[in-house]
Chain A
Amino acid sequence: MRRVAVTLLCFTLLALGFPSSARAQLGARTLPRSLDQLSEEAAIIVHGRVVSARIEPHPQLRNLTTIVVSMAVSDTYKGKPQKSFSFRQYVWDPRHAAVEYGKGQELVLLMGPVSEFGLSSPVGLEQGRFRVSRDQKGQTVAVNGRGNFGLFKGVEKRAQVRGMKLSVRTVGIVHQQKAGPLPLVDLENAIRSFAGTH
């Protein structure tokens, strides 16, 4: 009973808290990067659905909030193929993180390396997280947190420098250079080309 009373008291004090603690921030400011750079930088690239996402303090760094995301993987574009994939990301904005990793959400994630504290994030943050959906024609499309803006900027030139041969279809997409949803099959094709995993 005493523990219950202490718990309730703690919660009441927190709920009436002055000051109260909360995170009131939006995403970080990031430098735009193109898909070839993001693909190269990513340690693993997966396509799948969010099975669960929970917000919790980091187990060691208790003042830092993290989101732990588990995904059922339907395809691995880069890295060791696996059926499931989990990661822990530092978030200073749990509300928005929860939106970004909603349960059931289909995503293509270009994930950076895991740090010594077990933390990792999409490369380029919002740039390396593509939401997958169906457009009005029923086509499966993907769009990142920048609306795919600048996704293919400078890609062709860098590919030439590296002696990389892009498929005709990828070249066509690169030439369009328009923001907006991209057919998933084209995104996958381009990522596999850039990541060298065709």
Chain B
Amino acid sequence: MRTRRSLPALILLFFIAPFATAGGPLVVGGPAVGNRPAFGKDGEPFIWNTAKMPIQYRVDPGPMSVTSSGTTVIDHNAGVERVQNMFAVWQGVSTATLSYSNAGPLLPAGSYTGGDLKTAQQFNDVMGSCNAGKQNPVIFDADGRLLVSLGLPPEVIGFNSGCALDTINGYLLSSAIVMNGQFQDGINSPGSTRVNLELTPNAFDEAITHEIGHFSGLDHSQINVDLLLQGTFPCDTDELAGLPLMFPFAFCQARKDAGLPVLSPDDLAWISSLYPNANTGDSYGTISGRIFFGDGASQVQGVNVIARVVDGSGTIEDESRRVAVSAVSGYLFTGNPGQSITSSMPQSFENNTGGDRNGSRSTGLIGYYEIAVPPGTYTVEVESVFYAFVGGSGVGPLSPPIGLQTPEFWNTDESAFDFTLQRSTITVHAGDKVTDIDIILNNNFFHRFDGNEDSGAVFDAPIAMPELFIEDTRA
């Protein structure tokens, strides 16, 4: 009996092993640890197998949206067209080799024998086939009742649930998307006993397109987070233009409603990085480096690094807010390398000796970042991941994130004592690989400054003009 009881726990241990999430890829491979086999390819993002494109998804045969009284608002055909258009947003990225196709209706599974998927039991059975890698279901919860039976609140617009991975070759194998059609039923009664909320078609489609980003292997990204503190609505167009669709949550007007493309430069860069094609090298260069504590030697994981294009003087737009791409330092490194202190937990699946199977253990990656950017002249800055981005809102491998005392720019005289707003610029051409853009954090007095890490500017007085730009010609 003891053995029989332990089997589910062992299976569960395997199934629930967490992921290293990072600004960029959602899942990153890790090495074999002890008796545990390797998890994909060490330090490489999990992606869909590009040799097996297009990714085939299957759509719920029911309508996309119906009212609570059963009146169809968006029928199946119109719903499928919407879904195809959402996938097409990602497929349309000319610098990425990513494609999707509608393989037809959901495959039968257990109690689900076809037709409109309506019940939690049917959902459970279809998810079982997704977990077995048999299909990528796109499920219409036309009236929101499925979500209610799953105990989810009416504010849920939709979600993505990754299902299966090829842990030998590092591929995503199957994934599911659920969308709440109640948001499109034309009824907005936020104060009623049965709350019914509404979104514009563009806002709804962008929410689901965000979930398709996760479906495709993308994590959350953080850029223009100051919008949260401004609290203005509608959001400033320049700020919104640079705000990733993969930002942890939506709070501005729909990008399309503001006349902007659905994907931001950050979204385009990351999907192109994960799925490069022949055009990518002609359209992007990369900036890479490491983030260090004040000692100039110890790497810092979990801070948000942003490359922003330098604002052009000939336009009314602020390009520095519009064109920006980010990565979280250490996004390829595990957020939990493992230790034995918490390993003696009462339940077997809580053993943390080997840590998280996600992410590399190569110490050179702890503070490493790499950002693909369109050709241009950039500044590079670091900031904290927003403190509230925890758990499902997480950005990067650490949750909760670590805090920086001050944001800081990269300059050619990096040190732990430089002026944080002093910034140098980096010119990137297509195909360039600009390396060693390392930032040493200020105000980290617990880490001893190593004079060998500094160019000598540490002895200089702080500059009087924080906006001074210094052209870096190494690119």
Contact = CB atoms under 8 A, between A and B. Distances in A.
Interface of A: 3-4, 7, 10-11, 14-33, 37, 40-41, 54-58, 60-65, 88-90, 92-100, 112, 114-128, 131, 143-150, 158, 177-180
A23 B215 CA distance: 11
A138 B123 CA distance: 47
Contact of B14 (A20, A33, A114): A20
Contacts of B165: 19-22, 24
A73 to B, nearest CB: 20
Q: Looking at chain B's contact residues, is the secondary structure mostly helix, strand, loop, or mixed? A: mixed
A149 B131 CA distance: 35
B214 A26 contact: yes
Contacts of A56: 12
A98 B345 CA distance: 14
Given A24-B172, A56-B12, A149-B228, A29 B349 contact: no
Interface of B: 3-4, 6-8, 10-12, 14-19, 21, 26-27, 36-37, 46, 120-121, 123-125, 127-128, 131-133, 148-168, 172-175, 183, 190-191, 195, 197, 199, 207-208, 210-211, 214, 219-220, 228-229, 231, 248-251, 347, 349, 356, 386-388, 390-394, 399-400
B199 to A, nearest CB: 7
B36 A15 contact: yes
A98 B356 CA distance: 13
11 contacts: A11-B14, A14-B11, A18-B166, A21-B132, A22-B162, A23-B163, A26-B248, A63-B125, A65-B16, A100-B390, A100-B392
A144 B127 contact: no
A155 to B, nearest CB: 13
A100 to B, nearest CB: 4
Nearest to B148: A115
Contacts of B19: 22, 24, 95
Given A10-B10, A23-B161, 19 more contacts: A3-B3, A20-B166, A22-B15, A24-B19, A24-B172, A25-B26, A27-B249, A29-B250, A30-B249, A31-B183, A61-B124, A64-B150, A90-B152, A93-B391, A96-B394, A120-B151, A126-B391, A126-B393, A145-B392
Given A3-B4, A11-B10, A24 B27 contact: yes
A3 B2 CA distance: 10
Contacts of B191: 37, 40, 158
Contacts, number: 266
Nearest to B134: A19
Given A7-B7, A114-B151, A147-B228, A29 B163 contact: no
B6 A31 contact: no
A26 B3 contact: no
A20 B164 contact: yes
A10 B3 CA distance: 12
Contact of B388 (A88, A89, A124, A144): A144
Nearest to A28: B159
Nearest to B356: A95
B251 A150 contact: yes
B15 A147 contact: no
A23 B27 CA distance: 10
Nearest to B342: A103
Nearest to A89: B151
Contacts of B249: 27, 29-30, 32, 126, 146
Contacts of A125: 152-153, 155-156, 392
